[in-house]
Amino acid sequence: MSSVYEELREAAELAAAPRRSPSRPLIRVDLSTSSIAAEADRLWEALEPLAAERDVELMRVGTLGLSWLEPVVEVERPDGVGGGAVVYGPVRPEDAAEFLAAALGDNPAEDAARWLIGARTPTPGIPSLTDHPFWGPQERRLMRVMGLI
């Protein structure tokens, strides 16, 4: 491999490290066309000051394909609860404060169950996304190497 490639790869790995292992909670809000139609932009505006108060990072992302459950939100916690990211929806703007407290609480499987869709990896008390009726039967061919956002 060329040294230019190695330098670029090393820089990319360093830049991606905080996303792979966040040091503070990370909330991804789906801000695609269908989610904006379901008021995800208003949810973002409601979450911004709440996230700042709690030292939570907000990130805009594209859709997971769960359009009927918009606005969809993923919460990734540094304490490992959820084994990666836990997906919730629909999370309404007027519920932002209650949702944030529940999703970041001691027992999100119970406290945030109202919005719970599933987790990226199996976690006690939180179903896997692959067990969801939308995700489970899918056989990914064209996009089999594509991960969740």
Tens digit of each residue's pLDDT (9 = 90 or more) over 89-110? 999 999 999 999 999 988 887 8
Average pLDDT, the chain: 85
Q: How much is the pTM?
A: 0.78
Residue 121: per-residue pLDDT:
75
Residue 143 pLDDT greater than 70, yes or no: no
pLDDT category, 126, cuts 50, 70, 90?
A: confident
| Predicted confidence (pLDDT) per residue in 27-48, tens digit | 999 999 999 999 999 999 999 9
User: Superfamily assignment of 22-131 in CATH?
Assistant: Glutaredoxin (3.40.30.10)
Query: Comparing 56-70, 93-107, 118-132, which segment has the lowest mean pLDDT?
Result: 118-132
Closest CA to 75 of 25, 126, 120: 25
Q: What is the mean pLDDT of residues 60-78?
A: 90
Give residue 96's Cα distance to chain centre.
15
Closest CA to 115 of 126, 124, 106: 126
Query: Comparing 3-12, 34-43, 46-55, which segment has the lowest mean pLDDT?
Result: 3-12
Beta-carbon count within 10 A of 64 CB: 22
**How many angstroms separate the CA atoms of 81 and 108, rounded?**
8
What would the two tokens of residue 66 be? 């769960």
Distances (CA, A) of 85 to 3, 4, 94, 137: 35, 33, 23, 21
pLDDT category, 147, cuts 50, 70, 90?
A: low
Q: What is the mean pLDDT of residues 109-132?
A: 80
DSSP β-bridge partners for residue 76: 26, 85
